[in-house]
Amino acid sequence: MKTVDAIAANKAHLSITVIILTFDEEIHIERCIASIAALAERIIVVDSFSTDRTVEIARKMGAEIVQRAFRHQADQFQWALNHCDVGTEWVLRLDADEYLEAPLVDEIFARLPTLPEMTTGIDFKRKFYFMGRWIRWGDYYPIILTRLWRTGLASVEQRWMDEHVVLHQGNSILFAKGDIVDENLHGIDAWLAKHNRYATRQMVDHVNLEHKLFESEEDTGLGAHAQVRKHFLRNNVFGRSPLYIRSYSYYVYRMFLRLGFLDGFPGLVYHTLHGLCYYLLIDAKISEARQFISEHGLEAFRAHLARVHKIHLKEVSSADAGSSDTVVDGRQPGIQKLKAQVRDHWETDACGTRYGEQSNRLEWFREITRRRYELEPYIWEFAGFEHARGKTVLEIGVGAGSDFLQWCRHCDYATGIDLTEVGIALTRERLRLEGVDEERYTLCTADAEALPFADNSFDIVYSWGVLHHTPNTAQAFREVLRVLKPGSQMRTMIYHVPSWTAAMLYLIHGLARGRPALGLRHAVYWHLESPGTKAYTACEARELAQAAGYNDVDVATKLGPGDLLLTKPSQKYEHWAFKLASRLWPRPFIRMMGNRFGLYLLLMGRKPA
């Protein structure tokens, strides 16, 4: 087999930053760094003040050293992403006791520079060793993990245990010619001590399901259907099954149904220790925690975790650790480019402006409005224009100004923002032609992720079909909450998946082009309006709002005109595939099915008083 040195002999480093978390890893760190030294432009070791030679060895091998006190794995890695000034095109996450096999390094060298822009993540197969033996049965191989991604386009979900890297844009592909190997060289005592700590963290996550002690960030990202299933099974099936019984059931599943016994004696030891004893220990800790809470209360339990286990629950908040979107900000490579692409799209195709003749500007604006409320009649009831008297309103994304005109006519004072100069100019022209007093409104260009308004400024914040276009939708939700007055309401529409529109785009851009693995979310991301458009399930949207801090969250889906192919298509859809789909589209059946698979997801949430 080729060595890593042989593979890289005539190859330059790729634009990759490797981030490795360490604490007392002198036994592993040289092997780890050696496996990727020829591959990566930059290696950063985030060390938790090791007491052995970890830092010395890593520095000798060319790694940069950053030291920071350890809270938990997800927090430490997200901190590194946010604060280590990563300037390469890609980021690789690697644990100190892991290394890359030479065939995988070879594949990265060969394929990474050729990937299309829509591919933002690389999945690896993990190969696990215990007592010197590869554990390949018991549902343990292959474990597929996203470990390499384009800088700024992913983050780490904030959990005490079992955190995942979550892509926020694009899609991932599998590099399968070699594996990422997890082979810990510490003895069984170290393994037992580590898993005792892990069991405590698993207990904390479980107790949080029952008592909501902290905000757990579990963003499944784009197209992460395997993660959605895993989260559902972990939280709603295994997580709510009877203690102890579930541990034995899982052991039977892993050892016999998934053929764990084929891993020989090391496999017997491992599957018994990990698949049975470890989960029994978690359940025992949960039982103990429940008893403690029933006797002493939640606040005493928080104090107990901090005092005994050094677990400070407040540190798992989005403010400290970074939410699932925190990494996606304007400082990261690619984000400003994406925002520029979004801006360019809407500068040339302002919302609703495809209808009517522009020779008579006032009549053209009125035709835009007529078509808007004819195709989307539920906007009036959702927005509640007529109930806005005496209130101050912010609209995010004014477009051609149809809704903003209604706010100006009904509320006390209206403020409108748009990412584009065109949107502001069109809306200003429309209001002038309609004779609206300039004293009643303010218009300006602004970014929804950084609203230029003071805290507690508005009675209503309204946005129709906008916030799913900004790269950091969670940050936009938090900004809306900030500028709302206490007790006031956000009203927004974002895109829903699964939807008929997403299915149509998948048929045209996925199946019809021989790309069945594209996925609904990826079809929306790349082919619905501006690049980077996101879509959410109803559950994800509710959790997005709740994680931002909203109360009384209400979610509903509606069929959009795109679901019925009733809108005038943009230029990119004036081709045979769309015309054929438009002719054959089963509109009566879709109407009969109701709103369940509608593209529009109407979301309301209230700022706590």
pTM (2 decimals)?
A: 0.59
**Span 164-175, pLDDT tens digits:** 788 877 778 999
Angle at 247 between CA 241 and CA 250, to 5 degrees: 95
Residue pair 550/609 in contact (Cβ under 8 Å)? The answer is no
Question: Tokens for 155?
Answer: 């983050």
Query: Would you call 367 helix, strand, or coil by DSSP?
Result: helix
Q: How far is CA 20 from CA 17, 45, 47, in A?
A: 10, 5, 8
The confidence score (pLDDT) of residue 8 equals: 46
- Which helix (H) or strand (E) element contains residue 482? helix 473-483
The confidence score (pLDDT) of residue 234 equals: 65
Q: Is pLDDT at 225 greater than 70 in this prediction?
A: no
Residue pair 550/605 in contact (Cβ under 8 Å)? The answer is yes
The upper half-sphere exposure of residue 222, i.e. CA atoms within 13 Å in the direction of its Cβ, equals 31
Lowest mean per-residue pLDDT among 322-336, 386-400, 459-473: 322-336
Distance CA 67, CA 21 (A): 10
Cβ-count burial of 582 within 10 angstroms (0-12 exposed, 13-18 middle, 19+ buried)?
middle
Lowest mean per-residue pLDDT among 161-175, 303-317, 528-542: 303-317
Distance CA 207, CA 4 (A): 45
Lowest mean per-residue pLDDT among 130-134, 148-152, 164-168, 272-276: 164-168
Residue pair 506/569 in contact (Cβ under 8 Å)? The answer is no
327 or 77, which is more confident:
77
Place 33 in a pLDDT band, splitting at 50, 70 and 90.
very high
171 or 20, which is more confident:
20
Distance CA 411, CA 388 (A): 5
The confidence score (pLDDT) of residue 355 equals: 63
Instruction: Give the distance from CA 414 to its chain's centroid.
Output: 32
Q: Is pLDDT at 575 greater than 70 in this prediction?
A: no
Cβ-count burial of 242 within 10 angstroms (0-12 exposed, 13-18 middle, 19+ buried)?
exposed
Q: Is pLDDT at 518 greater than 90 in this prediction?
A: no
Distance CA 463, CA 601 (A): 12
The confidence score (pLDDT) of residue 31 equals: 97
Percent of the chain with pLDDT over 70: 86
Q: Is pLDDT at 319 greater than 50 in this prediction?
A: no
Place 390 in a pLDDT band, splitting at 50, 70 and 90.
very high
For every residue of 258-308, DSSP letters joined together read T-GGGGHHHHHHHHHIIIIIHHHHHHHHHHHHHHHHHHH-HHHHHHHHHHH
Q: Is pLDDT at 67 greater than 80 in this prediction?
A: yes
**Span 276-285, pLDDT tens digits:** 999 999 999 9
Distance CA 302, CA 315 (A): 12
Mapping DSSP onto H, E and C, the string for 440-469 reads HEEEEECCCCCCCCCCCCEEEEEEECCCCC
Question: Quick one: average pLDDT of 34-59?
Answer: 96
Place 180 in a pLDDT band, splitting at 50, 70 and 90.
very high
Question: Quick one: average pLDDT of 375-392?
Answer: 95
The confidence score (pLDDT) of residue 320 equals: 36
The confidence score (pLDDT) of residue 521 equals: 81
> For the chain, what is the mean pLDDT?
86
Lowest mean per-residue pLDDT among 206-220, 348-362, 417-431: 206-220
The confidence score (pLDDT) of residue 317 equals: 37
Distance CA 318, CA 74 (A): 12
Place 523 in a pLDDT band, splitting at 50, 70 and 90.
confident
**Span 400-440, pLDDT tens digits:** 999 999 999 999 999 999 999 999 999 999 999 999 999 99
Place 156 in a pLDDT band, splitting at 50, 70 and 90.
confident
Q: Is pLDDT at 508 greater than 70 in this prediction?
A: yes
The confidence score (pLDDT) of residue 222 equals: 46
The confidence score (pLDDT) of residue 461 equals: 97
Question: Quick one: average pLDDT of 326-344?
Answer: 57
| Domains within the chain, CATH numbers bracketed | 4-185 (3.90.550.10), 189-321 (no CATH), 335-498+536-563+595-606 (3.40.50.150)
Residue type, 330: G
Place 63 in a pLDDT band, splitting at 50, 70 and 90.
very high
Question: Quick one: average pLDDT of 367-375?
Answer: 92
Query: Would you call 340 helix, strand, or coil by DSSP?
Result: helix
Q: Is pLDDT at 331 greater than 80 in this prediction?
A: no
Distance CA 9, CA 14 (A): 13
Distance CA 266, CA 129 (A): 9
Lowest mean per-residue pLDDT among 206-215, 491-500, 584-593: 206-215
Query: Would you call 233 helix, strand, or coil by DSSP?
Result: helix
DSSP state, residue 496:
B
The confidence score (pLDDT) of residue 19 equals: 97
Cis check: omega of the bond before 113, within 30 degrees of 0: no
Percent of the chain with pLDDT over 90: 63
- For the chain, counts of helices (H) and of strands (E): 23, 18
Place 5 in a pLDDT band, splitting at 50, 70 and 90.
low
Place 524 in a pLDDT band, splitting at 50, 70 and 90.
confident
Q: At what angle do helices 245-252 and 278-296 cross, to 10 degrees?
A: 160
Range with top average pLDDT, 162-166, 237-241, 300-304: 300-304
